[in-house]
Amino acid sequence: MKQLTILSGKGGTGKTTLTASFSILAKNAVVADCDVDAPDLHMLLHPEVMEMQQFKGSKIAVIDENKCARCGLCREKCAFAAVTSDLKVDAIACEGCGVCAVACPANAITLVERVSGSAYISKTKYGFMSHAMLYPGESNSGKLVTLVRQNAKILAEKEDINLILIDGSPGIGCPVIASITGVDAGLVVTEPTLSGIHDLERALQLLNHFRVTPFVCINMYDINVVNTESIVSFCRKNCIEVVGKIPFSPKVTEAMVNGKTIMEYSPKSAVAKEIEVIWKKVVKLMFDN
């Protein structure tokens, strides 16, 4: 089984458009939306949920009023101002660090697990999908990404599917690391802007650190052909495969507004044709090596 993560240094570079299009072209792949902080693949693939599971990724302090001596030490020690003046724990402010439980002289505080999100196994028109949603204000998205990937892997094994397509979260933080570890290749989607080039370099460093084969795709390459050329020559110098250059087209946004992928909305467009070429190249590079 092969795993490909589609990633970008920041949001809005076309990563989700590409992942959704690949899931159509693949015909039989499990797609995993690992952008758990702001998932949007479901808006294009319209999954039908088959299974839902609670994600318990964090803890919250609970004060036993019968044991509490009302000394106020927990309120004094809490660095997150999560204990109110009437000695109640504010669920949003509590980080579950446990300092109050250690400080409490009456052993009145325990830490309990709390539900921080949901994970789903779903079916789309094009195959299976593993996805999730982290509740507002919750952290530990890296752990939820790992759960989404585990679910995708179990599904692929059970259904005898040989490819997992992962829509990674933007940036280079913990959830991105969780979405690239152990994958066969990482496709970085970038734009030919100065910030895009900077983000591309950071994403490539990350892939290099985790020994993941990098591919690069330049989206809206024609908005700045000089910067596009700089990216191409940088990749050539560093022996990184540029798998394609997608032209700018307002049809991509139109497709999204209509809740469709570009492959469905405008299959004959230059963008759709280029995505198909990119897909064939990626498959060849991943499965022929």
No. of helices (H) and no. of strands (E), the chain: 11, 11
96 near ligand SF4, rule: CB under 6 A:
yes
74 near ligand SF4, rule: CB under 6 A:
yes
Give the span between the Cα atoms of 116 and 113, in whole angstroms.
Answer: 9
For residues 133 and 141, the answer to whether their CB atoms sit within 8 Å is no
39-47, 96-104, 153-161, 186-194 -> range binding ligand SF4 (CB under 6 A): 96-104
Candidate residues 7, 18, 45, 94; the one interacting with ligand SF4 per rule CB under 6 A:
94
Output the smallest distance, CB 186 to ligand SF4, in A.
Answer: 35
SS3 49: strand
Residue 90 or 184 with smaller CB distance to ligand SF4: 90
27-35, 61-69, 181-189, 266-274 -> range binding ligand SF4 (CB under 6 A): 61-69
72 near ligand SF4, rule: CB under 6 A:
yes
98 near ligand SF4, rule: CB under 6 A:
yes
Candidate residues 28, 56, 62, 73; the one interacting with ligand SF4 per rule CB under 6 A:
73
For residue 26 the two structure tokens come to: 């693949």
**Signed CA dihedral, 17, 22, 28, 31: sign only:** negative
Burial class (CB in 10 A: 0-12, 13-18, 19+), 28: middle
For residue 45 the two structure tokens come to: 């693939």
- Quick one: which of 72, 64, 13, 24 has its CA closest to 46? 24
Candidate residues 24, 104, 187, 271; the one interacting with ligand SF4 per rule CB under 6 A:
104
262 near ligand SF4, rule: CB under 6 A:
no
**Signed CA dihedral, 233, 234, 240, 245: sign only:** negative
Candidate residues 95, 184, 201, 241; the one interacting with ligand SF4 per rule CB under 6 A:
95
- Quick one: which of 6, 4, 7, 9 has its CA closest to 199? 9
- Quick one: which of 118, 145, 123 has its CA closest to 30? 123
Residue 99 or 283 with smaller CB distance to ligand SF4: 99
174 near ligand SF4, rule: CB under 6 A:
no
Question: Which residues, listed in sequence order, are joined to residue 218 by a DSSP beta bridge?
Answer: 190, 245
For residues 86 and 63, the answer to whether their CB atoms sit within 8 Å is no
78 near ligand SF4, rule: CB under 6 A:
yes
32-40, 63-71, 161-169, 253-261 -> range binding ligand SF4 (CB under 6 A): 63-71
For residues 162 and 1, the answer to whether their CB atoms sit within 8 Å is yes
Residue 89 or 246 with smaller CB distance to ligand SF4: 89
189 near ligand SF4, rule: CB under 6 A:
no
Output the smallest distance, CB 88 to ligand SF4, in A.
Answer: 10
184 near ligand SF4, rule: CB under 6 A:
no
Give the span between the Cα atoms of 202 and 196, in whole angstroms.
Answer: 10
Candidate residues 11, 56, 62, 71; the one interacting with ligand SF4 per rule CB under 6 A:
71
263 near ligand SF4, rule: CB under 6 A:
no
Give the span between the Cα atoms of 60 and 89, in whole angstroms.
Answer: 8
Point out which residues bind ligand SF4 (CB under 6 A).
61, 63, 68-74, 78, 80, 82-83, 87, 89, 94-100, 103-104, 106, 108-109
